[in-house]
């Protein structure tokens, strides 16, 4: 619908005449009149039957009032309208306790934004003269847009809906019904072209979606738990910030895996221990694991599955520089987990490990199943994930409860508990170990700290968390409440859980 036609449609909704005292103007009160296009359509309708109109314009924006005044100057048909400009919010205006009574009071798509929906309706009604009319336009709760807003609230809303912009014409009608007021309604159907909303990185689409949902940064809310999926470069930078913030040396962190590897694994006489590493990165954790195995076995065959060529090159450099790994035969596979398992390899492995990897695979359940299928009878599967029992894990679950959309397992907000539940369904035997790591989150509370922003992104697994005020505020409040402060350092507890499952022989 053209903008002009939309605005003119309100002329037809104004009563043909209004009850007024002889010799007086028709008095009109406009709440949130904006730049005046809708008001002018109403005035022209009133001036067909009345000689003059007194219009009190309540509008908080000085810019909108100036546009309204420009419209008045350029439209000579409004010469019989006397304007009383009030640059005020609805709340400020009604606090003045004006005695004037109006024949027509209107609020066109304004009640979404007032502080108190019911109080505004009551104040408008009190300033309405006997025999006068009150006109309110709102999105209908029976339209698709209205239904979308109700579903958004049902799924993600917190508190009282009427304290937000998720208000509809049904709320107005309920107020009228409670007050015993007679009213009639009319509906206008408007088609909205939302094609741009489905285009990646369309600024117009983002703005339309924010307006439809009345929610700022809604496109970024869709990225909750999708840091690595949607912003791999930022993920890499945020991971570096995380390592810098951990209050454990990098070497100590990787060496902690040595104690979690079984002392020996069942393998055929005269053969090497076969190891499959999923998402091995630059090899630091793998090298600790293989060195532990070499304490009890003469040789290790290590198949490395890693999608990053840069990480594989770093791994190869580590191997060249560490002579203790000379008894390890490496089979390099530059592939994603999904690409690797699609090859349907027949090799069975005595040890398969995935250390902090299952956050990033497409389907964690399918990945666990594929790893289990490639595990030899008597072999071990080692998986490390953040525990839901740690403060960090609890934050991520709360983040999902408050802001997540869809299936949590489709994002990076996956926990050790998800792995244990899968093993339980398989009837597998396993043990688990916990490794407590303190993370210095002080930088997260420093305004405009790039390191703090990156670290918060990693902790929430969400890109550009600092651009989403509600999520940032919730995360920082949670961290502050669950952290300890030592020497001005705000330390937050991460509990990594390593699960070692044993595959019984058939």
**Domain match, 278 and 422 both:** yes
**Domain match, 329 and 429 both:** yes
Tell which of 194, 221, 248 closes a domain.
Answer: 221
Instruction: Taking residues 304-329, report their average pLDDT.
Output: 94
Whether the pLDDT of residue 171 is over 90: the answer is yes
pLDDT at res. 195: 93
**Domain match, 278 and 182 both:** no
Which residue reads 């694991």 in tokens? 289
Tell which of 221, 249, 284 closes a domain.
Answer: 221
Q: How crowded is the C-beta side of 47, counted as CA atoms within 13 Å? A: 17
**Domain match, 258 and 213 both:** no
**Domain match, 211 and 236 both:** no
Q: Which residues pair with 212 in a beta bridge?
A: none
**Lowest-pLDDT range of 29-43, 72-86, 214-228:** 214-228
**Domain match, 285 and 422 both:** yes
Tell which of 162, 197, 221 closes a domain.
Answer: 221
Mean pLDDT of the chain: 89
Q: Rounded to the nearest 5°, which phi and psi values hold at 178? A: -65, -35
Whether the pLDDT of residue 293 is over 80: the answer is yes
Closest to 273 in 3D by CA, of 244, 301, 254, 313? 301
Give Cα separations from 48 to 11, 15, 24, 44, 342 (angstroms). 11, 11, 16, 7, 76
Give Cα separations from 56 to 59, 117, 401 (angstroms). 10, 21, 46
Phi-psi region of 356 (alpha: psi -120 to 50; beta: other; left: phi over 0): left
Closest to 209 in 3D by CA, of 153, 198, 189? 198
pLDDT at res. 5: 59
Whether the pLDDT of residue 421 is over 50: the answer is yes
Q: Please tell me whether residue 200 adopts helix, strand or coil conformation.
A: coil
**Domain match, 64 and 84 both:** yes
Instruction: Taking residues 463-490, report their average pLDDT.
Output: 90
Highest mean pLDDT among 226-240, 255-269, 401-415: 401-415
Closest to 475 in 3D by CA, of 504, 444, 450? 444
**Domain match, 116 and 71 both:** yes
Q: Give residue-wise pLDDT tens across range 38-71.
A: 999 999 999 988 889 999 999 999 999 999 999 9
Spell out the SS3 assignment of 219-252: HHHCCCCCHHHHCHHHHHHHHHHHHHHECCCHHH
Instruction: Taking residues 212-222, report their average pLDDT.
Output: 71
Whether the pLDDT of residue 506 is over 70: the answer is no
Q: Give residue-wise pLDDT tens across range 440-476.
A: 999 999 988 999 999 999 999 988 888 888 889 999 9
Q: Please tell me whether residue 429 adopts helix, strand or coil conformation.
A: strand
Q: Give residue-wise pLDDT tens across range 330-357.
A: 999 999 999 999 988 889 999 999 999 9
Closest to 83 in 3D by CA, of 70, 97, 95, 72? 72
**Domain match, 88 and 32 both:** yes
Distance CA 347, CA 266 (A): 15
Percent of the chain scored above 70 by pLDDT?
93
By residue range, what is the domain housing residue 207? 3-221
Whether the pLDDT of residue 3 is over 80: the answer is no
**Domain match, 93 and 49 both:** yes
Distance CA 27, CA 281 (A): 74
**Domain match, 196 and 249 both:** no
Whether the pLDDT of residue 295 is over 90: the answer is no
Distance CA 218, CA 211 (A): 9
Angle at 203 between CA 462 and CA 448, to 5 degrees: 45
Whether the pLDDT of residue 231 is over 90: the answer is no
pLDDT at res. 446: 93
| The pTM of the whole model exceeds 0.75 | no
Whether the pLDDT of residue 304 is over 80: the answer is yes
Spell out the SS3 assignment of 278-345: ECCCCCHHHHHHHHHHHCCCCCEEEEEECCCHHHHHHHHHHHHHCHHHCCEEEEEECCCHHHHHHCCC
Question: Number of folded domains in the chain?
Answer: 2
**Domain match, 433 and 290 both:** yes
- Residue 205's pLDDT band, with cuts at 50, 70 and 90, is confident
More confident: 402 or 126:
126
Q: How many CB atoms lie within 10 A of CB 363?
A: 14
Instruction: Taking residues 79-97, report their average pLDDT.
Output: 95
CATH code of the domain in which 469 resides: 3.40.50.150
- Residue 1's pLDDT band, with cuts at 50, 70 and 90, is very low
pLDDT at res. 233: 82
Whether the pLDDT of residue 270 is over 80: the answer is no
């Amino acid at each position: 619908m053209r903008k002009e036609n939309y605005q003119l449609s309100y002329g037809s909704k104004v009563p043909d005449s209004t009850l007024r005292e002889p010799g007086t103007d028709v008095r009109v009160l406009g709440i949130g009149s904006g730049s005046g296009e809708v008001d002018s359509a109403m005035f022209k309708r009133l001036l067909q039957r009345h000689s003059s109109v007194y219009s009190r314009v309540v509008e908080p924006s000085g810019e909108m009032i100036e546009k309204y005044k420009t419209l008045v100057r350029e439209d000579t048909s409004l010469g019989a309208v006397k304007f009383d400009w009030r640059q005020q919010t609805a709340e400020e205006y009604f606090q003045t306790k004006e005695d004037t009574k109006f024949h027509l009071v209107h609020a066109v798509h304004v009640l979404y934004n007032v502080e108190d929906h019911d109080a505004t309706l009551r104040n408008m009604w009190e300033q309405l003269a006997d025999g006068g009319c009150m006109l309110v336009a709102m999105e209908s709760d029976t339209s698709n847009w209205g239904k979308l807003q109700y579903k958004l609230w049902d799924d993600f809303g917190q508190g009282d809906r009427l304290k937000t912009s998720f208000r509809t014409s049904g709320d107005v009608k309920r107020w009228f019904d409670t007050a015993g007021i007679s009213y009639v309604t009319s509906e206008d159907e408007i088609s909205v072209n939302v094609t741009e909303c489905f285009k990646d990185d369309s600024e117009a689409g983002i703005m339309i979606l924010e307006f439809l949902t009345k929610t700022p940064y809604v496109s970024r809310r869709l990225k909750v738990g999708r840091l690595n999926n949607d912003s791999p470069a930022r993920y890499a930078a945020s991971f570096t910030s995380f390592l810098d913030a951990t209050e454990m040396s990098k070497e100590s962190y990787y060496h902690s895996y040595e104690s979690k590897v079984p002392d020996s694994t069942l393998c055929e006489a005269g053969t090497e221990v076969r190891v499959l590493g999923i998402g091995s990165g630059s090899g630091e954790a793998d090298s600790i694991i293989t060195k532990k195995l070499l304490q009890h076995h003469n040789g290790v065959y290590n198949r490395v599955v890693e999608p990053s060529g840069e990480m594989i090159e770093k791994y190869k450099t580590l191997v060249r520089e560490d002579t203790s790994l000379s008894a390890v035969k490496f089979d390099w596979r530059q592939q994603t987990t999904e690409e690797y398992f699609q090859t349907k390899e027949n090799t069975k492995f005595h040890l398969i490990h995935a250390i902090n990897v299952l956050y990033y695979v497409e389907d964690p359940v399918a990945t666990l199943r594929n790893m289990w299928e490639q595990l030899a009878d008597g072999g071990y599967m080692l998986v490390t994930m953040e525990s839901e029992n740690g403060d960090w894990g609890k934050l991520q679950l709360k983040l999902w409860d408050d802001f997540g959309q869809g299936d949590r397992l489709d994002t990076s907000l996956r926990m050790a508990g998800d792995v244990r539940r899968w093993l339980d369904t398989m009837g597998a035997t396993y043990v688990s170990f916990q490794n407590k790591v303190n993370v210095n989150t002080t930088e997260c509370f420093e305004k405009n700290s790039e390191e703090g922003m990156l670290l918060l992104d990693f902790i929430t697994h969400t890109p550009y968390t600092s651009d989403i005020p509600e999520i940032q505020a919730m995360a920082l409040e949670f961290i502050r409440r669950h952290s300890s402060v030592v020497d001005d350092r705000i330390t937050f507890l991460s509990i990594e859980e390593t699960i070692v499952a044993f595959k019984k022989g058939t």
